[in-house]
Amino acid sequence: MNATTNLFNKNPAIWNIILLILRIWFGYVMMKNGFVFFKIVSSAAERKVIEDWFGGQLHFPLPVFMACLAKGSEFFGGLFVALGLFTRVSALFVFITMLVATLVANTGIGWDVYGTITLSFALFALLFIYWGSGKYGLDSLIWRRKNIG
């Protein structure tokens, strides 16, 4: 632990590069998983599937709306995290979405595959909630310019 702390203290550029790589990967995966948001919005057949799953099996009220919130959080939250824009807030939305997915939809039978994946996504989101975007995100660029001017 001490060696790792010293490594990041002596060379924070390494940590910023690691954050950049993790943000881009995490954002890509979230966007890929959340892309179904656009199918829900544009396809009556997809909305029917969502009504059956979110409403019938998971018993969510307003199932299409809830699915749009979840998948929208994944897609747009992933996009913003990848860009490093509003990183902490975006990661918070993803964290909540992944925590609900883990606890509501992916416990029990699907735990071995889906539950561990959604829980991992939630934990990655916690990383970005705590650390933010790092030096190589748009947050850093925007706030640095604002402080200079």
Is the pTM higher than 0.85? Answer: no
pLDDT at residue number 145: 59
Structure confidence at residue 55 as a pLDDT band (50, 70, 90): confident
Structure confidence at residue 132 as a pLDDT band (50, 70, 90): very high
Kindly state the average pLDDT of the residues 37-58. 89
Report the C-alpha gap between 128 and 124 in whole angstroms: 7
CA atoms within 13 A on the CB side of 11: 6
pLDDT at residue number 148: 45
> What is the rounded average pLDDT for all residues in the chain?
87
Kindly state the average pLDDT of the residues 107-124. 80
CA distances from 79 to 8, 57, 65, 75 (A): 27, 29, 20, 6
145 burial class (0-12, 13-18, 19+ CB within 10 angstroms)? exposed
Per-residue pLDDT tens over the stretch 92-113 = 999 999 999 888 877 766 566 6
Say what percent of the chain tops pLDDT 90. 56
Structure confidence at residue 77 as a pLDDT band (50, 70, 90): very high
Kindly state the average pLDDT of the residues 33-53. 91
Structure confidence at residue 60 as a pLDDT band (50, 70, 90): confident
- Please say if the pLDDT value at position 54 is more than 80: yes
